[in-house]
Structure 1
Amino acid sequence: SRQKRRLIEAVKAGRIEFRDINLEPDALSSHGASLEDIRRRLHATDAEGGLLVGADVAIAVWLATPGEGWLASLFGNRLVLPLTRLAYDRFADLLYG
């Protein structure tokens, strides 16, 4: 799909880097995130080293992926963001369960 190609492009350009928690289970322990936390919700660090969790990770990925910024604007604006986070958390709970 076009979204997948854009994400791959962002990874190749170095705007996004994925880490395998199975290979690096302590990758975010300095942020207080346990392996179980990471399995329940997406976790990431931003360019400044700050921790992002859940829907905020998806929004950051959309912002870093060419052509996907509109998704970040739609779901990450201050009015919709609380609902985006709630929906993400419910969905993540279902997947984890």
Structure 2
Amino acid sequence: MESEKNAATATTVYYNSACPVCDAGIRDQRGRMQACNIKWVDVHTEPGAVTELNSELEAVRERLHVRNADGELLVGEQALAALWSQTSGRRWLGWLTLRLNFLTRPLYNYIARQLYHWNRRRGHW
């Protein structure tokens, strides 16, 4: 019963391991968050998981998606901020990302879009 409760309240991260840059970032983040109750879902190996988000696969390939413990869906820089806010030594990054979202949102979106197109050209999916 307790494990069901923990599974229901876990943060779920939806990421795309086919992108080498994204995969490296997630591997680093996973290593830093080993003690946290996080479910990691790789949409490259589990493409059907996007139905949990009521989203399209391409949208999740392009931007990080996080469903927090409250069930709220966070995308892009908000998703990163949510993870950093739970990471020892990086909480300040989460705080800063949210406070400066007028800068961090367009920057994240630009980088995500460029990575997405680069990955498509390289045939990563």
TM-score range, shorter chain: 0.7 to 0.9
CA distance in 1, matches of 2:65, 2:32: 21
Q: Is residue 16–residue 61 contact of structure 1 (8 Å, CA) maintained in 2?
A: no
CA distance in 1, matches of 2:45, 2:70: 23
CA distance in 2, matches of 1:49, 1:24: 20
Aligned partner of residue 44 in structure 1, secondary structure: strand
Unpaired segments of 5 or more residues in structure 1? none
CA distance in 2, matches of 1:23, 1:7: 17
Residue 82 of structure 2 aligns to which amino acid in structure 1? Answer: A
How many residues get paired?
Answer: 90
Task: State the shift of 1:76 in Å.
Answer: 1.2
RMSD, aligned CA:
1.7
Write 1 or 2 for the structure with the bigger share of strand: 2
Q: Structure 1's 40 and 9: CA in aligned 2 closer, same or farther, altered over 3 A? A: closer
Identity level (%): 36
Q: 1:1-97, aligned counterparts within 5 Å?
A: 4=28, 7-10=30-33, 12-77=34-99, 80-97=100-117
Residue 51 of structure 1 aligns to which amino acid in structure 2? Answer: L
Unpaired segments of 5 or more residues in structure 2? 1-27, 118-125
Aligned partner of residue 109 in structure 2, secondary structure: helix
Moved over 3 A (4+): none
